[in-house]
């Protein structure tokens, strides 16, 4: 099974994992890496490298922001390890983290998981409209 690293500014990654576990159950193959205000790019790259060395298996890195420091550090570490099986995507959200858990347990490859997450990303952001097909009573 693949490992999934959640990486984000502040403590978002740890809390994202905690929230996902609240809804999904234990996620032993999910790992959170925090990027705190007092840390720099080099420190974050070191954290990522150590985690990858410990896991020694295919890894999906799920970063919070495209081109943010967690994403950039992940890309830099991946480029230094061209033989490692690493996929990196940005736009981490709770619906997508939960979907990653489901997909990871389905036996799909990292690439299949990444493509599925990207294709369903637009479905996870919705706007409430009063005239939706549901009755108001369904929401109460």
Residues with catalytic annotation? 9
Q: What Cα–Cα distance (Å) separates residue 44 from each residue in 9, 34, 73, 83?
A: 11, 8, 7, 21
Question: What strands lie across the sheet with 3-9, from one edge to the other?
Answer: 30-35, 3-9, 59-63, 86-90
Strands 30-35, 59-63: parallel, antiparallel or unpaired by DSSP? unpaired
What is the distance between the alpha carbons of residues 51 and 108, in angstroms, rounded to a whole number? 22
Which H or E run contains 59?
Answer: strand 59-63
């Amino acid at each position: 099974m693949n490992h999934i690293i959640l990486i984000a500014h502040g403590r978002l990654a740890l809390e994202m994992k905690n929230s996902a576990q609240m809804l999904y159950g234990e996620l032993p193959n999910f790992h959170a890496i925090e990027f705190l205000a007092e840390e720099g790019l080099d420190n974050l790259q070191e954290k990522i490298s150590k985690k990858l060395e410990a896991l020694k298996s295919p890894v999906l890195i799920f970063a919070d922001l495209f081109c943010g420091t967690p994403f950039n550090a992940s890309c830099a570490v991946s480029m230094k390890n061209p033989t490692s099986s690493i996929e990196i995507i940005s736009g981490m959200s709770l619906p997508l983290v939960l979907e990653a858990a489901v997909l990871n347990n389905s036996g799909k490859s990292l690439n299949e998981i990444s493509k599925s997450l990207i294709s369903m990303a637009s479905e996870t952001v919705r706007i409430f409209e009063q005239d939706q097909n549901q009755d108001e009573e369904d929401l109460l």
